[in-house]
Amino acid sequence: GAVVSQHPSRVICKSGTSVKIECRSLDFQATTMFWYRQFPKQSLMLMATSNEGSKATYEQGVEKDKFLINHASLTLSTLTVTSAHPEDSSFYICSAREGVAVGYTFGSGTRLTVV
């Protein structure tokens, strides 16, 4: 089945620094990928839709200048959390859908801790 690889799985960074998270579709091409954020014991909240070759579209309330998304190829989307603060600490997950598949495949997630 479809596989989405996400790296890193865990990252600890200092306040004010930036962190890049990669999401790759390993065996299929994904013109669209989705980025979610999940706080402890909460549901997944869609942050943005990553579109290959064009600008990402962000959900209401998500700062596009803080969460930079780049979808430079059909198999890779990156999310960069810029000038990270402790309140950005969360579980970030990407997803994509293979071709005509019904369900979405999720990456294994990145647990970000900002100290």
Partner 1 sequence: GQQVMQIPQYQHVQEGEDFTTYCNSSTTLSNIQWYKQRPGGHPVFLIQLVKSGEVKKQKRLTFQFGEAKKNSSLHITATQTTDVGTYFCAQSSNDYKLSFGAGTTVTVRA
> How does 67-102 read in b/e, with b if 16+ C-beta sit within 10 Å?
bbbebeeebbbbbebeebeeebbbbbbbbbbbeeee
Q: Is 42 in the site for partner 1 (CB under 8 A)?
A: yes
Q: Is 32 in the site for partner 1 (CB under 8 A)?
A: yes
**Residue 59 and residue 72: Cα distance in Å, rounded?**
20
Q: Is 105 in the site for partner 1 (CB under 8 A)?
A: yes
Q: Is 41 in the site for partner 1 (CB under 8 A)?
A: yes
| Residue from the set 11, 13, 44, 68 that interacts with partner 1 by CB under 8 A | 44
Q: Using CB under 8 A as the criterion, which residues of the chain lie in contact with partner 1 when the complex forms? A: 32, 34, 41-46, 49, 93, 95, 97, 102-109
